[in-house]
């Protein structure tokens, strides 16, 4: 099963006998907002235009719990997450396709949560909404209630201690921009830098200028150069567990399973007792 889907293939499936549940997860990180600019409103963007049949999912409210000691986007309450997915028409035996505004991070967060909680068939629209060449709609569908019940996996999720251990025994990839990894800037969290032993691997380098993922072979070569081999245990973190999900998705495209540290740097850096490395070297 592939982790991504092209717009052409999605258009075919939406007109088929068994169309997938389609989720619109448009969202932007606050650090991407220009000073003084209004916050991005994903629901308003959805209301203005979306792929026909898509249901809006709010990342901050339905794919994450409230910010706190566990980070800016901690895991959602799974009962509430399941209820939100059922309202969106998600069932265990129905494929799901998720998309966002093109960056891919928010869609990847939805993909990761659904996969980690047991859904067998979830894909991300490669390139997001900008890749869609079909008609757009302003209608809000009312799908039949789904039956999805989250059942979290025992693997695929890291906490702070697990991330620290993996940085020593496997490969822990830091999906943030290089300047944040090096500690040169930190626009959001208490301090800049990275988890000691983590390797800088900006998730923006996994896609081309059009926002689509690089071919699987190129992604595999990229991760190999970062120390990932067939027998390597791999983990990923980012600022708050959103762009890191996009890197996990890129690894999946390359055929590499990886775990996600959801709390990520927003959780790690909030505790002054945890060590912080700066500079280009992992240690």
Per-residue pLDDT at 35: 58
Q: Would the pTM of this model clear 0.75, i.e. be above it?
A: yes
- Sign, CA dihedral 77-81-87-92, equals negative
Tokens 């055929």 appear where? 255
Helix (H, G, I), strand (E, B) or coil at 131: helix
Per-residue pLDDT at 29: 84
Per-residue pLDDT at 183: 97
Q: What is the mean pLDDT of each run of 10 residues along the chain (283 residues)?
A: 94 96 93 64 96 98 96 97 98 98 97 98 98 96 96 96 98 98 95 98 97 97 95 96 98 98 98 97 94
Instruction: Choose the catalytic residue: 85, 175, 238, 258.
Output: 238
Helices (H), strands (E): how many in the chain?
10, 10
* 238 belongs to the catalytic site: yes
Per-residue pLDDT at 30: 73
- Which domains does the chain show, CATH number per domain? 4-131 (3.40.250.10), 157-268 (3.40.250.10)
Residues 6+ apart with CB under 8 A from 38: none
């Amino acid at each position: 099963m592939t982790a991504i889907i092209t717009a052409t293939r999605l258009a075919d499936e939406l007109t088929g006998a068994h169309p997938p549940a389609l989720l619109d997860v448009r969202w932007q990180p606050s650090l991407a907002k220009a000073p003084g600019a209004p916050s991005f409103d994903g629901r308003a963007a959805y209301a203005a235009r979306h792929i026909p049949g898509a249901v809006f999912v709010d990342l901050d409210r339905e794919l994450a719990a409230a910010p706190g000691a566990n980070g800016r986007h901690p895991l959602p309450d799974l009962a509430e997450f399941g209820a939100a997915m059922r309202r969106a028409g998600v069932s265990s035996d129905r494929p799901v396709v998720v998309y966002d505004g093109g960056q891919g991070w928010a869609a990847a967060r939805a993909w990761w949560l659904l996969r980690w909680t047991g859904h067998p068939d979830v894909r991300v629209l490669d390139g997001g909404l900008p890749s869609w060449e079909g008609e757009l709609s302003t209608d809000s569908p009312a799908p039949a209630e789904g039956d999805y019940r989250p059942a979290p996996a025992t693997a695929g999720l890291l906490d702070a201690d697990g991330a620290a251990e993996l940085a020593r025994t496997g490969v822990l990839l830091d999906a943030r921009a290089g300047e944040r990894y090096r500690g040169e800037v930190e626009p959001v969290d208490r301090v800049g830098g990275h988890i000691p032993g983590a390797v800088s691997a900006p998730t923006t380098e996994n896609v081309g200028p059009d926002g689509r993922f690089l071919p699987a072979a190129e992604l595999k070569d990229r991760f190999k150069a970062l120390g990932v081999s067939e027998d390597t245990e791999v983990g990923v973190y980012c600022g708050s567990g959103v762009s890191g999900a996009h890197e996990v998705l890129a690894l999946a495209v390359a055929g590499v399973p990886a775990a996600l540290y959801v709390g990520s740097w927003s959780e790690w850096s909030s505790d002054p007792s945890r060590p912080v490395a700066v500079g280009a070297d992992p240690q």
